Amino acid sequence: MAGYPTVLHTEEIMRDGLQCSDESIPVSEKIRLLNALSDTGLKEIAVGSFVSPKWTPQMACIEDLVAGFTPRPGIRYTYSALNEKGLQRAKNYVPPLSPRIREYSTKYSMCEVFAIRNSNKTQEKEVMNWPKQIAKAKADGIAYGGISLSCAWGSNWTGEFTQDQRMLAIDRMYTMWADAGITVQRINLADPMSWAMPHQLEQQLIAIKERWPSITDFNLHLHNGRGLALASVCAALTVLDSGDTLRLQSSLGGLAGCPYCGNGQAAMMIATEDLMHLLEEMGISTGVDIEALIKCVWLAEEILGHQLFGFVSKAGPRPRFDKLYPMDMPRIETIEHAKHFLLGASAYAGMPSPWPEPIRSYQRPESMNDDRSVSTFDSKGLKSSGGGTA
């Protein structure tokens, strides 16, 4: 296998995160968060949804938000719209919103209950829309089509779906595109109800690549209600290679949810700071300033009035070189004290130290006195000798 796939990422807190949050959050605070996110190095940010304010009042201010924020060059600002009315509302704000580039797709929900609850469409209506989407793509001269499968692995109302069921649904859509003379290049596998298991996701991607080698662009919209979404990303990174594109969505602090899936805020998503940390540690450059991203988590917690759900925003990234912790720091017990990884000693100011003498270690040479001799190590890397005293 030749390297990792190209990873493209979309930040979702402004859309998937806030759609299940307090509707009374002032627009000015949402703008403050969006502007801060724009300064982190993120390449694509979903700013919200043009949907019915009656059913999603948290998005009622979308026009004011888009009109009031400060767009940054080089960032794609995307949006969601479920029908033609929403699309027309959004077009008034393009730019600063970016044109939709992945709308030529046939879509199918494995769970009809969710399809009805989420978009008021039966599976039959979804299938009836396929010829229209393909005809539109053909009329617009589109060379490559896309397939989207929602609730791909399972449903809180109808249970688990098998790989055979997924392959059958994909094959029906793929064949219709092929009959129209359009090659399918993209596939979206969405898991709004957190049913995906890493080993099943891995097997599914392998099967798709073997059956339809023209598909090289994979979008995984994974919710994290059962804590396995990040592991599923790792599985995808082991299966896809440098000839593929992997598109991922995550949300700052893990804040996300779906009011129609039965889990609400518990549906969650991968915390963006956790995902960026993972990618960087695997050698996949993101261009994201992880410290700036963590500060955005803290800002979001201030705005929302509660703690978010990620991990790196609490423990910090793995410290390296000049970021290693001071050895003489006091006992660290609270999450607020743990913020010393970014705030320094001010995070635990006033805490008494239980260490009567400075801590010294051969593993931190800068802590040693000049009269301490250099230790040697055996073949296993263990300290084998040393002279002098601390």
Q: For residues 296 and 301, give the distance between their C-alpha atoms in angstroms, rounded to a whole number.
A: 9
Beta strands in 23-171 (DSSP E): 44-49, 76-80, 105-109, 144-150, 154-155, 159-160
| Domain annotation covers residue 83 | yes
- Within 10 angstroms of residue 146's Cβ, the number of other Cβ atoms is 24
Cα–Cα distance measured from residue 252 to residue 21, given in angstroms and rounded to the nearest whole number = 13
Q: Are residue 217 and residue 250 in the same domain, yes or no?
A: yes
Q: Which of 161, 141, 143, 144 is nearest to 153 (CA)?
A: 161
Distance CA 312, CA 298 (A): 12
Dist CA 347 CA 338 (whole Å)? 7
Most confident segment among 19-23, 115-119, 204-208:
204-208
Task: Judge whether 62 and 80 are in contact, CB under 8 Å.
Answer: no
Q: Residue 390: inside a domain, yes or no?
A: no
Query: Can you give the pLDDT at residue 21?
Result: 80
Residues 244 and 346 in one domain: no
Residue of 111 and 385 predicted with greater confidence: 111
Q: Which of 274, 294, 315 is the last residue of a domain?
A: 315
CA dist 224 and 250 (Å) reads: 10
Last residue of a domain, one of 315, 345, 376: 315
Q: Which runs of E-coded beta strand occur in 123-232?
A: 144-150, 154-155, 159-160, 183-191, 217-222
Instruction: Please report which confidence band the pLDDT of residue 266 belongs to, taking 50, 70 and 90 as the band edges.
Output: confident
Does 247 reside within a domain? yes
Based on the fold, state whether residues 280 and 210 are members of the same structural domain: yes
> Do 195 and 328 fall within a single domain?
no
Range of the domain at 225: 6-315
Domain tally for the chain? 2
Domain stop point among 284, 315, 346: 315
Give a yes or no: residue 1 inside a domain. Answer: no
pLDDT tens for residues 42-98? Answer: 999 999 888 877 877 788 788 888 889 999 999 999 887 777 777 778 788 888 888
219-252 residue pLDDT tens? 999 999 999 999 999 999 999 999 999 999 999 9
